[in-house]
Structure formats: structure tokens, C-alpha cells
Structure 1
Amino acid sequence: MSIDVSFILNAFVQLLFSVPTTLLITGVSVLCGFVIGMAIALVRIFSVPVLSSIAIWYVTFIRGTPMLVHLLLIYNGLPLLIDGLSHRLGWGFKSAAIPVIDFVCLSFSITASAYLSEVIRSGLLAIDRGQMEAALSIGMTKPQALRRVVLPQALAASIPNFSNTVIGMLHGSTLAFTVPVVEVMAKAQIVASTNWKFLESYLAAAVIFWGITVLIETSAGLLERRVNLYNRGGVA
């Protein structure tokens, strides 16, 4: 058995056209997951009645079930709910009008929110309570103290874990090929099916994912060094 290097290069070029879709899924999922995760983390940190218990249950359920299950539940279940409500309310709207990638982004955003909430919460717990007390003692309100003092330090401490989650969501985006979304892995299968050179096609996909992962790790490392330099009182 021999590996066709020329086909790897050819597949690599073809797969590059699907990279924007993969990055879109990852970016939207991480961004939306971060916003939802931040709300969940704050609700749990401040032990908001009722909402705190719901948040704990939500995080436990999402982290305890596979990412693929979330995708299939959203992809197969949400259209039934939308069509049922539309029929009952006489809207005349069909779920078929919604792009499939929207269901993928929603599903992955839900997954990311649970993991990112724990990343943010661990960062908040790492900050000494005295920081909040000191901010309140000089006349800041609690929201101001959170925004200006606590959250910047917590997010800085969370950079390594945050980058790991981003990489995890990037790799998890490959599950989108189970539904009709042509991201890198789906494109790899399409390219390979032309002459059954799956090994070469998957090697090309691996190189692309490895390259994106290195970029994320490098960016996170640079950001972490910059933040640490600032915290030590150096010049950024």
C-alpha cells in the first residue's frame, strides 16, 4: 500500500474551501456559548434562588450527554416543535425554511455554554473575595465591581481553559457532517469518494485542523503572556 502524496495536496486545496464553514460554526458556538455561560456562571456564583438550581441541572445534563446527542435532538426535535406551534397558531411558517447550519450552531452553542460556564466560574472562584469587598468599599456598585475589577481578572485566569474549550468546539464541529452541513470532514468524505482515497483525504483534513489548533494555541499563549506582563506591572 502506498500513499498518494499528490492527492493529499489536491484534497488539501479542496478542503480549504470548507474551512470558513467550520470556523463559522466554531466561532458562533463559542461566542453564543460564552454569553450564555457567563450568565450561568454568575447565577451560580451568587446563588440566585431557583435559577441557581436550574443552572446546576442544565450544566450537569449538558456535560453528561454527548455533543452528538445534542445535535441530533435539536436537528430532529426542534423542527417538530416549530412546525407544531406554527400549525396551532396559524403562522404558515415551516421549519424547512431554516438553514440546517442554524440548527448546528444552536446545538453547539448549548454544548459550549455548559463547558464555558464552568471555565468562567472557576476563574471567578480563583479571585480573592477581598477584591469585591475592596471595590465596594470605595463606592462601586456590585455590577461595577464585577465589570471593572473581578471579571477582567477572572477572564485572564481562564485563558488556558478557554482556549482548550475553543479547540474542543473546533474539533467537535466535525460532528456537523452527520447532518447536511458541508464542513471540513464532510468535504473530506466527498473528495475521498471520487476515487476511494479516504486515507489521503483524512490526512489532509488532519493537517488543516492541526494548523488551526496551533493558531489558537499560539494566540492564547501570546494573550496570556501579555496579561501576565500587565499583572506584574510591566509594559505591554
Structure 2
Amino acid sequence: MNTEQLHLVLQSAWNALPTLLAAAPVTLGFALAAMLLGLPLGFAVALARLSGVGALRGVSSVFVSFIRGTPLLVQIFVIYYGLPSLGITLSPVVGGVIALTLNAAAYLSETIRAAILSIPRGQREAATSLGLTGAQTMRLIVLPQAARVALPSLSNTLIGLVKDTSLVSVITVVELLRSAQLVIARTFEPFGPYLTAALMYWAISSALEVVQRGLERRFSRGT
């Protein structure tokens, strides 16, 4: 790469920056929405998989297996392009959030289930002997400890969601990647906008990693 080419790349990256900065909140918003919606759904799925009711275990296991065994991109296509054939039409934003939420919930459920199972059974038995109900034992004994165990994986899931939001660009959601593509369509210079988008994904993920480490230190002091 000569000096002129480097100048063109840097110039295109700089010109793309305002557009991509405007799209960054969309990317972060999709990731946070999927995480906030996926957490309670993932918790419910985890409880279903730990349930003594065979039907609940079966349905939840199939859900987790299907989501984890198929690409997220295919799931987005099924929800956004497939559902209209059944009379269900969703906007790109709603379709994208639903796809990301279902995907996140499947992975979060496994994290939550593993964290719950990591708590020694003796603690539950002790709580029962003290007269606590199953719900009280879960709320007061199991979940506070399970949250500390699950925190790193939960944080990693959020960081992964930030990167996965790039896939909703295929259904015309104008997030970081789609914004870079729109800039490229005007300028015909791909390297600068794509590099800028990559650096912004990295910056968001790095910021979330800093928050994750801070939360881990705070939780570790609380033990």
C-alpha cells in the first residue's frame, strides 16, 4: 500500500465515522434488548429443564437443542422471511430482536442451569430443614450464589450478542455493519468503512469487558 492509497483509506474511514457512530447505539440497543428479554426467558427454560415434569423437560430440551444446533442467520430468516407465509409479518427491528432474544435465551438457559446445579445439594437440604420453602430456598440461598458463578458467562453472552447484531443487517436493520455497507455503496471504498466498523465493535466489546471485570471484582468482595 503506497502513501496515496493509505491516505484514501484513512479518509474513507474518517468520512464513515459519523454515520457509524450514529448506528452504534442501534447495535448496543439490540444487544441489550436481547439480553434483557433473554435473561428471564433463559431462566424459565433453565427451570423447565430442571423440573420434575417430563413434558417441561422435553419441550425445553428440544428448544435449546434446536436453537444451539442451527445458525443464528437461519433463525433470523425463519422469523423474518418465513413467518409471513403463516400470516405473521414483523418489522425488521422486531424480527431481529425476537431472533436474538430466542438465541440468547437458549445459551443463557444452559449457563443458568449449570450455575444452579453447581450449588451443593446439602445447602438446599439444610434450607429445607430450617423450614424454608422451595421458592425461598431458590431465592435466598441458590440464586445469589448461582449469580456469582454465572456472571462471567452471562457477560460473555452479552459481548457475543454485540457481535451477533451484525447479522440483522441482512433484514435491512441499519446497525453498524449495514451502515458501513451503505457508506460503501456511496463511496465505492470498502476497506475504510469496514475497518471502522470492526474497530467500533471492538471498542464496544472492550468497554463491556471492563464493566464485566468490575462486576466480577465487586461480586468477589461480596463473597
Structure 1 outlier segments of 4+, above 3 Å: none
TM-score by length of 2: 0.93
Output the CA distance in 2 between the equivalents of 1:168 and 1:177.
16
Gaps of 5+ in 2: none
Q: CA RMSD in A?
A: 1.3
1:186 aligns with 2:172: no
Structure with the bigger percentage of helix? 2
Match for residue 101 of structure 2?
A: 109
TM-score by length of 1: 0.88
Output the CA distance in 1 between the equivalents of 2:17 and 2:123.
50
Matched letter for residue 47 of structure 1: G
Identical-pair percentage: 38
**Partner SS state of residue 216, structure 2:** helix
1:148 aligns with 2:153: no
Output the CA distance in 2 between the equivalents of 1:134 and 1:196.
67
Output the CA distance in 2 between the equivalents of 1:174 and 1:58.
24
Match for residue 25 of structure 1?
A: 30
Could you tell me which of 152, 173, 194 is aligned with 1:160?
A: 152
**Partner SS state of residue 87, structure 2:** helix
Matched letter for residue 23 of structure 2: S
Shift of residue 209 of structure 1?
A: 0.6
Match for residue 65 of structure 1?
A: 70
Output the CA distance in 1 between the equivalents of 2:78 and 2:198.
28
Matched letter for residue 103 of structure 2: T
Kindly provide the CA deviation profile for residues 109-147 of structure 1, in whole angstroms up to 9, marking residues without a partner as x: 111111000111111111111221222222211111111
1:1-236 to 2 correspondence within 5 Å? 1=1, 2-3=5-6, 4-83=9-88, 95=89, 98-231=90-223
Output the CA distance in 1 between the equivalents of 2:44 and 2:36.
13
Kindly provide the CA deviation profile for residues 53-93 of structure 1, in whole angstroms up to 9, marking residues without a partner as x: 1111111111000000000000012222235xxxxxxxxxx
Number of corresponding residues: 218
Shift of residue 6 of structure 1?
A: 2.7
Matched letter for residue 221 of structure 1: R
Gaps of 5+ in 1: 84-94, 232-236
Kindly provide the CA deviation profile for residues 154-197 of structure 1, in whole angstroms up to 9, marking residues without a partner as x: 11111111111111111111001101211100000111222211
Output the CA distance in 2 between the equivalents of 1:175 and 1:184.
10
